[in-house]
Every structure is written in C-alpha cells, then in structure tokens.
Amino acid sequence: MSKKPGIAPSLSREAIIDIAFDLIDEHGYDAFSLRSLATHLGISAMGIYTYFDSKDDIISGVQEKMRTFYDNAPVPGERWDDTLRRTLRSIRKVGVEHSNIWRVDTYGWQKGTRVHTRRIYKIHKDQGMPLEIYKPLWSIIEAFLGGFIQKEISQMNTTFEPLDPDDPDYQWMLISQTAYTDESFRDGIELIISGVRRMAAPDPCEWRTPLS
Amino acid sequence: MSKKPGIAPSLSREAIIDIAFDLIDEHGYDAFSLRSLATHLGISAMGIYTYFDSKDDIISGVQEKMRTFYDNAPVPGERWDDTLRRTLRSIRKVGVEHSNIWRVDTYGWQKGTRVHTRRIYKIHKDQGMPLEIYKPLWSIIEAFLGGFIQKEISQMNTTFEPLDPDDPDYQWMLISQTAYTDESFRDGIELIISGVRRMAAPDPCEWRTPLS
DNA sequence: ACCTGAACACCGTTCAAGT
DNA sequence: ACCTGAACACCGTTCAAGT
C-alpha cells in the first residue's frame, strides 16, 4: 500500500469504530460526541466525515461490533435447547457487560440484526426443528431476552432506597428490586423450553445440529 | 383563586405535561425541545423552568401520564391468570398506541414505575398467590412484556425489503419479520401461565381477588 | 412569583478552502 | 482523497432583569 502523505488515509472505519466503542462503553452514550471522538482520534471533528456519513453511521458500526461478541455459531451435535441456553446466556453476558452500548436506541432493524437473525434460524432449521415450533419460540425468546437484558441493566444502574424489613410487604417489594439474576434468567429459559416441549408432544424434540 | 395579573401562574404542571405528551406522541421525541414546547404553550422557553426543574422532569411527568392509562386496578373475584391477561393486554395496547412516548429512554426506575409495581404485587398478594410463585412469575412476565412491546414497535416502524417467495428460507425469514402479533402475544402469555401452573402443581391455582 | 431576552457551552452537519 | 476551520442552525440551562 503506497503511502502518499496528505492523501493516504491516516485512519480506517474499523479504527474509528474501535475508539468509538471504547468511549461509549466507558463513559456512556450521553457523553459521546463527534467532537470528543475526533479529539481521541487526533483529527478534527469534520475529518470523521471522510469515513462516515453521519453519527448514526458510526453507532451502527459500534453495535455491529458488539454483535460479533455473541456466541451464536452452530455446534455439531448440539440439541436445540442447549443451543438456546448457550446463545441466550452469551447474548445476555455481552449486553450486560457493554450496557452503555446495548442501551443506545435499538429501535429499528439494522443490517446487523438481520445477520444475527439469519444465523439463528439457520441453526434451528438445520437441526430439523419444525417451522410450527420455531414460529412461537422465536417471538417469545426474543421478547424475553431483550426485555430481560434491558431490565437487568436498569436494575444495575438503580440505587434503591433501603426497605423496611418489618414492612409486611417487605418480601414482595424486594422481589421487584432483585428480579433479574442468573437464577431468574435460567428459570425463564427453562420455562420456555419446557413449554415448547409440551407444545410439540408427543414429538421427543431430538432436533440436533448435524455432526458433519 | 384570586388572579393577580403578572403574579398568578398562567399555566400548571399538568397543562404543560398534557401539551408535551401530545407533541411527543405525534411528532416523536427527537423533534421535542423546550423551545418548541414553549412556542406551543405561548410563553418563552425559559418560563417552563418556573414549573419544572429540567427537561427530564417533564419527561418523567409525560411517562407517568401514560401509566395512568394502564388497566391495572383489582377486579373482585378475578383469578390471577385473568388478571395477567387483562393487565398485560392493556399495557401492550397503551405502549404500542403511544410508541413515541414508550420508547423514550426508560432505563432507570422512576417514581411511576414503583407505583405500578406496588399495584401489581398488591393484587397478587391479596389473591393469595404464594411468594414462591410470584417471584419467578414477576421477572419472566416483566421481561417478556417489555421486550415484546419494544420489538413490536420496532417491527411497526420498519419497512422490510420484499422477500423472494421462491427462496427456500422464505418461511423462516418471514417469521422474524412478522413475529409480533396479537396471536404471538397471547401465545407467550399462555405459555407462561401454563408453565406457572405446572410449577405450582398439585396446587389448583385458584388464587382470586377477594369479592368484598 | 412568574416570565423574559441575552448569553453560555455545547451539539451534528455543511461548505469552501487547503494539501 | 484526506483533512481543516469557520459557520449554520440548533440544543438545555443559567442569569440578571423586568412586572
């Protein structure tokens, strides 16, 4: 790659996304601006427009980067319910660990969403899961997963005023303040899985990713 | 109420929230600013600070107003699962109808959330639902509901590129584009309810709101 | 107490200009 | 092609002043 000073790019989309990712991850989206990003890149704010069309363009890249952390590849021989346990656990972990990036407005179907969706349905299709099972499973799983992560992040970021243990409602109030845990996440997934098994009965639900 | 011109307030918190609600509801949160709100109120932008501490203060009020539309009051004689069907259906309806307000960053526990939470647990407590049942029920229900509404709004606001019906994956791709419907919402709730019934077995689950 | 206008310290983006 | 600095049209909020 011949380098002509004053012409060759000093940066790349990837390098910029890496910095943007780290900035949002650490300091939150509210503190993120093109001007502060530019300072960290060592160029002027307007130089970013050489690589990106808009701020939203950068954000899309940042969210796409986060999705590459998902453990959502097919595993030969794995049964559908273990696939669910593995992928959902991974997505929750990534979302919570990078909560500042997760919470950036995810309304609207970005390109990256489509890629992830395709990966997931291909796995289950190859496992031999019937379409009639996948259909209700998909919507409840996606809703549960997205809602759980969002609420868990809220719970993490909230400092609750201490409850009075003598209050007759103490236990009930405590539940809503500590609702999102490893245990309740697993319970939710298991409830959905066993619900699907009951729906499919008497099918033994031995849908597995092919070994070859 | 004696009216001293130049001293008596020409507005109220409620009146301002009503206008803010309508503006966000119709034109979206991105188009909402204190200056545009002030124009619609007929005062200068800085006059708003007489009634509110900050923009966030107004937003809290707007979201609190939305929650008053929830049908979440106790109904004498109603069984717990019918309570769930009724309240969840109502919240989904309100959220989707006022999607621009729903989607304004709801991370963090506002005061209004606590009020709603208290209403719900009180109903189930009075119905005689055991704490061990309410605990897992609460987290899965909240996660599913919040996630479903969020995804349904995304789906509504997305224009999908047309799919090729001859694609062997056509049916599978279609599922992810049409996942959030009346039917899948009901299916999700019924799956959760029957999961809870199985958890509680052999309890007949006849928990009902007292008649008096 | 209620409301105003000017001002402050920011935004994302456009544009003409420089190398 | 890559990058800059000035400028535009906005923000939320502060502050001194007016009634």
Between CA B190 and CA B196 the distance in angstroms is 10
Burial call B147-159: b when 16+ CB within 10 Å, e when fewer: bbbbbbbbbeeee
Residue A105 pLDDT level (bands cut at 50, 70, 90): confident
> Which nucleotide lies nearest residue A10, CA to C1'?
D2
Strand D interface, protein residues by Cβ within 7 Å: A 6-11, 38, 43-44, 46-47, 49-51; B 6-7, 32-36, 45-46, 49, 54-56
CA angle A114, A116, A117 (to 5 degrees): 65
Q: Which pair of tokens denotes residue B145?
A: 């509901």
Determine the Cα–Cα distance for residues A58 and A104; give it in Å rounded to an integer.
Answer: 12
Separation CA A201–CA B137 (nearest Å): 24
Please tell me whether the peptide bond between A162 and the residue prior to it is cis, using omega within 30 degrees of 0. no
Tens digit of each residue's pLDDT (9 = 90 or more) over B73-103: 999 999 999 999 999 999 999 999 999 999 9
Q: State the pLDDT at residue A3.
A: 35
Chain B interface test: which of A106, A133, A137, A144 (most B C-beta within 10 Å)? A144
Residues in chain A: 212
Chain segment B155-183, per-residue pLDDT in tens = 999 989 899 999 999 999 999 999 999 99
B212 pLDDT band (50/70/90 cuts)? confident
B94 Cβ contact partners less than 8 Å away, ≥ 6 residues apart: B66, B69, B70, B102
Q: For residue A135, give the nearest of B22, B112, B41, B177 by alpha carbon.
A: B177
Which of B77-109 are b and which e, b meaning 16 or more Cβ less than 10 Å from the residue's Cβ?
ebebbebbbebbeebbebbeebbbbbbeebbeb
> How high is the mean pLDDT of chain A?
93
B40 Cα to chain A: minimum distance (Å): 27
Tell whether the model's pLDDT for residue A4 goes beyond 60. no
Residue A136 touches chain B, beta carbons under 8 Å: yes
Dist. CA B194–CA B191, nearest whole Å? 5
A2's CB contacts (< 8 A; 6+ apart) are A8
Mean pLDDT of chain B: 93
- How many percent of chain A have pLDDT more than 90? 88
pLDDT at B28 over 90: yes
Mean pLDDT over residues B29-43, rounded? Answer: 97
Residue B101 pLDDT: 97
On chain A, the residues whose CB falls within 8 A of the CB of B59 are: none
CA of A155 to C1' of D15 (A): 37
Lowest mean pLDDT among A158-162, A167-171, B162-166: A158-162
> Coil, helix or strand for A3?
coil
Give the C-alpha separation, A152 to B203, whole Å. 31
